[in-house]
Structure 1
Amino acid sequence: MTNRKESFNDVTDHMSKIEGAPMSKPEMSSLPLGIRIIGYAMIGFTALASLLFIILALLD
């Protein structure tokens, strides 16, 4: 990865080198299509449910 950040203490350095923990968030375009679709569906459902909740609360 070219956008790797430098660790700021020994704990994050250990996680990065030994455990393989990522230091930065992945780019959405680099994720597999199935994971992107699930993510977009979850975000869309949450937004739609919130909007529906607000509309139904105003009509009550």
Structure 2
Amino acid sequence: MSQNERQKPFNDAMEHLNKIEGYPVSRGGKLPLPIKIIGYFLLAGILFIIAGMLFNLFN
């Protein structure tokens, strides 16, 4: 399905919702930058903890 077909309303009610009421358009799951940065720090911290546990286990 092309982008143009996805944006065409399939009936008058959806067209009204889009034009008059301002139905929000999805941005494709993008997160705000501060939340991304927090997620990267949490992921890196968890990976460092796991790496430290593995290093301690084999040492």
Per the normalisation by structure 2, the TM-score is 0.49
RCO comparison, higher one (Cα < 8 Å, 6+): 1
Higher Cα radius of gyration: 2
Per the normalisation by structure 1, the TM-score is 0.48
